[in-house]
Amino acid sequence: MAEILLETEGGDLDSVPMNVQMGPSHPAMHGTIKMRLRLDGEIVARTDVEVGYLHRGFEKSCENVTWTQVMPYTDRLNYVSPLCNNVGYCMAVEKLLGIRATDRCEYIRMIMAETSRIGDHMTCVGASAMELGGFTAFLYAIEVREEIWRVIETVTGARLTHSYCRIGGLKDDLPPDFGASWRSIRKKIRTLIDDIHALLDKNRIFLDRMIDVGVISADRAVSYGFTGPCLRSTGVDYDVRKAAPYMKYDRMEFEVPIGSRGDNYDRYLVRMEEIEQSLRIIDQCLAQIEPGPINVDDGRLVLPEKDDVYGSIEGTIAHFKIIMEGIRVPPGEVYSYTEAGNGELGFYLVSTGEGRPYKCRVRPPCWSFMQALHEMLEGYQVADIVPTFGSVNMIGGECDR
């Protein structure tokens, strides 16, 4: 007769909660955060999220350099969509200066920001899929990103940290064959994105792991300050490009995808649909863009042409003053916001009239959802931490600055 090895009385075995630490160096490739988990078996009873492992002193560094030298620091904020940060910062300084960039410059900035947004969403979706075991989707997503970076490299000169925008304009105009190279990669991107849809949208494993996991309600999301795809997946219709259109977004026809459940799957679908809308916006920009100047016609802000710098004394002095002393921004404060990959990216700038910012504050979209992450994890299982954390798309550079 078999021995009765253990007696259980109508329920689980006696267990004690286990305290486990996850991170800061952990496989989910989204950045260094530490989560202290209190586990009741497999269920996460309580979690304490600790950030700050990538704090690089963005604000303090910006207070020590000129207004234009802040540009490389902004690249490294949300480093998966750096052009969105560049555009946001330049718009903030231009708002403080009281100027507006030229039409052609605004169209080009919109094209670049939307291509960056596609890269951001592809990285997020690909990494989420890989963490659940779907490595193929990740490879396809990175291939889309490579094609986009190849085109961006012909425009800006760099694959990742572009520093492309300048205050009052851009570094360089688009190359003459930009339209043709964009159309050629668009076909390739289209096939790859369709393949990713085919791999993930109705995939049994993906659905089981993402639906009704990491849920947050619309009211909690709004009171936590969520913006971007995380907020839209809960059903709240807030997109800065529609609510307060900037640049030429009021001339664009596009839709804002809204979810309903606020779970991981809705965040995935919102991101994939936003990629489609970004492609629409880029096509419309390329159709509407006209030749013209890319820099504002203001010698105190924009570097003069090299012929003038080497040929005339005024050009040399203007070049010297802009580089060495920085642009003179009038005293004041401004808060300027754009729709970056993760949500409302705000820049709060304070100027005292010198060539350096007095304060250059970034309002990071992921700071808001990281503080609510514990609500999205508690009550779910340990294995649900990874897809939830991945779908929220925390980017360390932006979160910790």
Partner 1 sequence: MGLESNLTGTFVGTRLSDALNWARKYSLFQYPFVTACCGMEFMSAACSHYDISRFGAEIPRFSPRQADLLFVVGTVSHKLAPVLRKVYDQMCDPKWVVSFGACASSGGFYDNYCTVQGIDTIIPVDVYIPGCPPRPEQVLDALMMLQEKIQREPLEKQA
Partner 2 sequence: MSKKALERLTAKFADQVLATHDAHGDETAVIKRDRLLDVLRFLRDETDLAFDMPIDLTVVDWYRKREPRFEVVYHLYSVTLKHRLRLKVPVDEDDARVPSSYPIWPGFDWYEREAYDLYGVAFDGHPNLKRILMWEGFEGHPLRKDYPINKRQPITTLLGEKS
Is-contact 78 84, C-beta < 8 A?
Answer: yes
161 binds partner 1 (CB under 8 A): yes
CA distance 376 to 383: 13
Q: Shortest gap between Cβ of 156 and partner 1 (angstroms)? A: 14
Instruction: Choose the one of partner 2, partner 1, none that binds residue 229, judging by a C-beta under 5 to 8 angstroms depending on kind.
Output: none
370 binds partner 2 (CB under 8 A): yes
139 binds partner 1 (CB under 8 A): yes
For 381, other C-beta atoms within 10 Å of its C-beta total 13
Instruction: Choose the one of partner 2, partner 1, none that binds residue 123, judging by a C-beta under 5 to 8 angstroms depending on kind.
Output: partner 1
Instruction: Choose the one of partner 2, partner 1, none that binds residue 359, judging by a C-beta under 5 to 8 angstroms depending on kind.
Output: partner 2
What is the x/- site pattern for partner 1, positions 69-108, by CB under 8 A? ---x--xx--xx----------------------------
The region, left, alpha or beta by phi > 0 then psi within -120 to 50, assigned to residue 110 is alpha
Joined together, the tokens standing for residue 347 give 């820049």
Is-contact 390 210, C-beta < 8 A?
Answer: no
CA distance 35 to 23: 6
3-state secondary structure (DSSP) of residue 258: coil
Question: Within 212-251, which residues bind partner 2 (CB under 8 A)?
Answer: 220, 222-225, 227, 236, 238, 243-244
Q: Which CB, 273 or 400, lies closer to partner 2?
A: 400
Q: Shortest gap between Cβ of 75 and partner 1 (angstroms)? A: 8
Give, rounded to a whole angstrom, the gap between the first and last alpha carbons of the chain: 65
Q: Shortest gap between Cβ of 60 and partner 1 (angstroms)? A: 6
Instruction: Choose the one of partner 2, partner 1, none that binds residue 334, judging by a C-beta under 5 to 8 angstroms depending on kind.
Output: partner 2
What is the x/- site pattern for partner 1, positions 46-75, by CB under 8 A? ------xxxxxx--xx----------x--x
Q: How far is CA 49 from the centre of its chain?
A: 21
CA distance 116 to 152: 9
CA distance 33 to 26: 9
Q: Which CB, 352 or 381, lies closer to partner 2?
A: 352
The region, left, alpha or beta by phi > 0 then psi within -120 to 50, assigned to residue 260 is alpha
Question: Within 336-355, which residues bind partner 2 (CB under 8 A)?
Answer: 344, 346, 348, 350, 352
DSSP code at position 350: E
CA distance 235 to 238: 9
Q: Shortest gap between Cβ of 16 and partner 2 (angstroms)? A: 22
Query: Which stretch in 94-102, 162-170, 256-264, 287-295 sits in contact with partner 2 by CB under 8 A?
Result: 94-102
3-state secondary structure (DSSP) of residue 99: coil
Dihedral over alpha carbons 124, 84, 226, 20 (to 10 degrees): 40
The beta-strand segments (E) located in 27-155 are 34-40, 43-50
Residues that bind partner 1 (CB under 8 A): 24-27, 29, 31-32, 52-57, 60-61, 72, 75-76, 79-80, 123, 138-139, 142-143, 145-146, 149, 159-161, 396-397
Residues that bind partner 2 (CB under 8 A): 50-52, 55, 57, 59-61, 64, 95-96, 98, 220, 222-225, 227, 236, 238, 243-244, 332-335, 344, 346, 348, 350, 352, 358-359, 361, 363, 367-368, 370-372, 400
